[in-house]
Amino acid sequence: MFEVKRITNVNWENSIVRATLDLIVLPHGIVLKDCMLKEAEHGFFVTSPSKKLKTPWTNPKTGKTHEYQDLAFFPAEIRPELERIVMEAYDPDGASQTSAPPAVKAKTLQDLEEEVPF
């Protein structure tokens, strides 16, 4: 389902971020760049790339101000597998690791038409 393409440990002062990483979404080969591995009270978790909002907004129920917006969403049912794969690639004592992208055969228009279910 996922493959870690690149993972780089970071040491940002006063941050829960432990590494930045690029994920390949299989089988399509879509790359999500600049995901983050974070460590909090209850352990490690992976976050999607995000962007800083021009205008922050405040949640009226919680009062929390949001300055960033996620660019992708990881559904709850895939998070355990995603976190397992990332933790296998993470070396807390290492600087960075990379893996070669999977060999993906270029598809022709005919290949794509054959895959369409209708």
62-115 residue pLDDT tens? 999 999 999 999 999 999 999 999 999 999 887 655 544 444 444 455 555 565
pLDDT (0 to 100) of residue 96:
56
- The mean pLDDT of 1-17, rounded to a whole number, is 90
**CATH level 3 topology of 2-56+64-115:** Arylsulfatase, C-terminal domain (3.30.1120)
Helix, coil or strand: residue 68? strand
pLDDT (0 to 100) of residue 101:
40
- Give CA separation, 5 vs 33, 35, 111, in Å: 9, 11, 26
Which pTM was predicted?
Answer: 0.72
Q: Where are the domains of the chain?
A: 2-56+64-115
At 86, the amino acid letter reads V
Q: Are 17 and 34 a contacting pair, CB within 8 Å?
A: no
Tens digits of residue pLDDT in 10-58 = 988 888 999 999 999 888 899 999 999 999 999 999 999 999 999 999 9
Number of H helices, E strands in the chain: 2, 7
